[in-house]
């Protein structure tokens, strides 16, 4: 990046502005998107609360959490088989965009198993955590 404009004059304002944009892009490139995999069905209120906590944990580690099971039930009915399948399909699409999947909790639901299988299929790194966000396995 040059401190001089096309006419050869020093232009520090433009230089600083372009440098700030460059730094911002560098910061964005360092961010990683982490897919939060945890139960939803069953005790929905409790599971939502846990997923929020897991998302906060991911954020506290410097990453961007993505928890589709907190988003899609806002407008899709998880009790409706077709809409549940739409939500899972959307989640799997988003999973392919993530840098890793972090699996939380002691029990794996049917939906979680699908997400894990999908991650393995596409070579997405997996990390496993217990309910207290303590890592138990990297796979």
Residue 27 has pLDDT above 60, yes or no: no
CATH number belonging to domain 31-138? 3.40.50.450
Residue 8 backbone zone (phi > 0: left; psi -120 to 50: alpha; other: beta): left
What average pLDDT does range 11-38 have in this prediction? Answer: 75
Q: What is the pLDDT of residue 12?
A: 67
37 and 68 Cβ atoms separated by less than 8 Å = no
67 and 55 Cβ atoms separated by less than 8 Å = yes
Q: What is the pLDDT of residue 41?
A: 86
Lowest-pLDDT choice from 25-34, 38-47, 91-100, 104-113: 25-34
For residue 38, what are its two tokens?
């945890």
51 and 69 Cβ atoms separated by less than 8 Å = yes
Residue 125 has pLDDT above 90, yes or no: yes
- On average, the pLDDT of the chain sits at 89
Q: Domain-by-domain residue ranges, the chain? A: 1-30, 31-138
């Amino acid at each position: 990046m040059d401190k001089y404009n096309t006419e050869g004059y020093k232009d520090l304002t433009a230089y600083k502005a372009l440098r700030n944009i460059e730094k911002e892009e560098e910061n964005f490139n360092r961010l990683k998107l982490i897919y939060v995999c945890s139960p939803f069905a069953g005790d929905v209120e409790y599971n939502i609360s846990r997923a929020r906590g897991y998302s906060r944990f991911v954020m506290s580690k410097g990453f961007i959490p993505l928890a589709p099971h907190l988003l899609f039930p806002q407008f899709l009915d998880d009790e409706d088989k077709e809409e549940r399948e739409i939500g899972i399909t959307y989640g799997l699409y988003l999973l392919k965009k993530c840098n890793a999947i972090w699996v939380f909790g002691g029990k794996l639901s049917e939906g979680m198993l699908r997400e894990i299988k999908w991650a393995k299929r596409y070579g997405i790194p997996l990390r496993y955590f217990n309910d207290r966000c303590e890592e138990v396995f990297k796979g």
